[in-house]
Amino acid sequence: MAPCASSVAAGRNFASTSVPRHLARGAIGLGLIIGSIASVPTLGPASLLAAPLALVAFRGCPTCWLVGLAQTISRGRLERRCADGVCTLTKAHPS
């Protein structure tokens, strides 16, 4: 099982405070991955040391980042309800 899947199942939240902030983290992570791979011909294998920093920006893995994006977008819009061992997502009622 992937680390982010088990963390989400345990209730870990990968969401950011806003969608633009989450997208910025994704752009930084993707830029670090692309930059580290693209600079291998000029800087050598040492440039790959920048790739683990992308995991910090993604808060784990790119899949975890996507889960966080879905959580950030749906925050306050969806509500999880569980009854008799069956969980469903419904629209949240305004309080």
pLDDT block averages, 10 residues each, the chain of length 95: 46 78 93 93 90 88 88 78 83 68
Q: What is the pLDDT of residue 6?
A: 41
Q: Helix or strand or coil: residue 20?
A: helix
Q: What is the pLDDT of residue 8?
A: 43
Tell me 49's DSSP state. Answer: G
Q: What is the pLDDT of residue 12?
A: 66
Q: What is the pLDDT of residue 41?
A: 94
What is the CA angle 33-39-40, rounded to 5? 100
- Let me know: does 61 contact 2? Beta carbons within 8 Å: yes
Residue in 55, 60, 57, 56 with CA at minimum distance from that of residue 8: 60
For the whole prediction, is pTM greater than 0.85?
A: no
